[in-house]
A and B are shown apart, each in its own frame.
Chain A
Amino acid sequence: MVLLKVASKEKEQDLIKYKNEFKISSPILMDDNSSVANAYGIWNRPNTFFISREGKIVGRVVKEMDWTSSKMKNLIDYLLKEKK
């Protein structure tokens, strides 16, 4: 599983500060001109996409969520178990 965070129109120094402060280990990608956000149709944040190994979007969450909840764990387990 690969977790990527995308920050649109954010200052690099703010992102570094955030990454250090919250001990974030996953990569944060900078989307300076919001071209990635626009391609995904992002008009509000946070917005999370689940993308299968075939490159298909298999899920989307358009609000904040508790990543440690059992609901989230079940969803990720289910997606990881999906075969080709």
Chain B
Amino acid sequence: MNRMDFKKISYLIFILIFGFLGTRCATPKEELKTFPKDYVHPLTEINFEKVFNENRGLKILEENATMIHDYYRGGVQEKEEGERLFRESRWEDARIHLEKSNRFLRVVLKYLPEDDAYRNIYGEQAVIFLPNLLIADNHLKLITVYKSLKNDNKVGEARGEARYYLAGSLKSVKTEWAYQIKKGLEDESPKK
């Protein structure tokens, strides 16, 4: 080994390759389950925790997101952080993350506008894919956040957005989670 080679090795990089040509054929695309049109996915099957678990790992930064699944993953990660801060009543911090989550998820909807209980996004792995529902849920939380921050103008806006995205989600897939959000919106709305 000459001096030059040694110098090169001292500047180490790792190249990590997931999946490769030889075995790719042995990995079939994950079969998507099919459900009756009016099937309501129970909370035990589709819930926060499952969605969060599927999207944990490397944190997606807005400036690094390029693919649809980056934006979806980023949206879910920001939501998880926003939810945590929401539970701690840290309203301003929660607002930042929930709004950021919505920005990520709106990019997803530009290209894939419909929710799906399970979807293969650019690959062989099926994940719970509910961008509309996640935005609706973010807005439901944002109503409380804006109320706490005394930002009344935004409360009405968030209410409208939550209803709009919830309807979008229910049009494609019915979930117990969505009906929970619907009830949350009804309970929260001013009584006539």
Interface-located stretch among B42-50, B104-112, B118-126, B138-146: B118-126
Q: Complex Cα distance A47/B17, Å?
A: 6
Q: Among A2, A43, A53, A83, point to the contact of B125 (Cβ < 8 A).
A: A43
CB-defined contacts of A53 to chain B, threshold 8 Å:
11-13
Dominant secondary structure of chain A at its interface with chain B? mixed
Chain B residues near A18 (CB, 8 Å)?
20, 22-23
Looking at chain B, what size class is its interface with the partner chain? 20 to 34
Q: Which residues of A contact B124 (CB under 8 A)?
A: 44-45
A75 to B18 alpha-carbon distance, docked (Å): 19
Flag whether B58 is at the interface (Cβ < 8 A).
yes
Q: Let me know if B13 and A10 touch, CB within 8 A.
A: no
Residues of A within 8 A of B9 (CB): 1
Chain A proximity of B28: nearest CB distance (Å)? 11
Instruction: Say yes or no: B13 contacts A52, CB within 8 Å.
Output: yes
User: From residue 2 to 40 of chain A, which have CB atoms closer than 8 A to chain B?
Assistant: 2-11, 14-15, 18, 21-22, 31, 34, 36-40
List B39-57 residues whose CB lies under 8 Å from chain A: 54-57
Total A residues in contact with B, Cβ cutoff 8 Å: 46
Given A45-B20, A53-B13, 14 extra CB contacts under 8 A: A1-B15, A2-B12, A4-B16, A5-B17, A7-B19, A15-B23, A39-B57, A40-B18, A46-B17, A47-B19, A48-B15, A50-B15, A53-B11, A76-B15
| A-B CB proximity, top 9 nearest | A45-B19, A44-B123, A18-B22, A51-B14, A39-B57, A43-B123, A53-B12, A49-B16, A47-B18
B contacts, CB < 8 Å to A? 8-9, 11-24, 26-27, 54-58, 60, 67, 69-70, 73, 121-125, 127
Residues of A within 8 A of B (CB): 1-11, 14-15, 18, 21-22, 31, 34, 36-53, 57-58, 62, 64, 76, 79-83
